[in-house]
């Protein structure tokens, strides 16, 4: 499912227009990005948790030529599915 199909599904579920659903989705994504940028955690009970994790620097090998490459430390977004979401997926 791509973004336009997702917006159409949201509009159908909300019984509203695609424009309203698109604005709602854009607002949701904007808030999630703001929260994660601040380093905070966003917990949606029953759905899951969005958070930022720190990944340490490491050394890896290039599979094409075997050369060692240093990958710098960084922060990455992480999503952990909630109990209800896991139950729906596994039923």
Instruction: In whole angstroms, give the CA distance from residue 41 to residue 56.
Output: 20
pTM for the structure as a whole: 0.80
Domain count along the chain: 2
Question: Given this model, what pLDDT does residue 60 score?
Answer: 95
Say whether both 60 and 46 belong to one domain: yes
**Amino acid 54: pLDDT:** 96
Distances (CA, A) of 34 to 29, 41, 76: 9, 11, 14
Residues 84 and 44 in one domain: yes
Same domain, yes or no, for 75 and 53? yes
pLDDT of residue 42: 97
Q: Cα separations (Å) of 10 from 34, 51, 53?
A: 22, 24, 30
State whether 43 and 31 are in the same domain. no
- Mind listing the pLDDT tens digit of every residue in the chain (91 residues)? 999 999 999 999 999 999 999 999 999 999 999 999 999 999 999 999 999 999 999 999 999 999 999 999 999 999 999 999 999 999 9
Q: Are residues 47 and 83 in the same domain?
A: yes
The CATH number assigned to the domain holding 85 equals 4.10.520.10
């Amino acid at each position: 499912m791509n973004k336009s199909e997702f917006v159409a599904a949201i509009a159908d579920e909300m019984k509203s227009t695609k424009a309203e659903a698109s604005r709602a989705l854009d607002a949701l994504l904007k808030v999630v990005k703001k929260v994660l940028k601040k380093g905070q955690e966003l917990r949606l009970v029953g759905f899951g948790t969005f958070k930022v994790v720190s990944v340490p620097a490491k050394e890896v090998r290039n599979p094409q030529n075997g050369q060692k490459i240093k990958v710098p430390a960084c922060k990455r977004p992480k999503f952990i599915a909630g109990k209800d979401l896991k139950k729906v997926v596994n039923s």
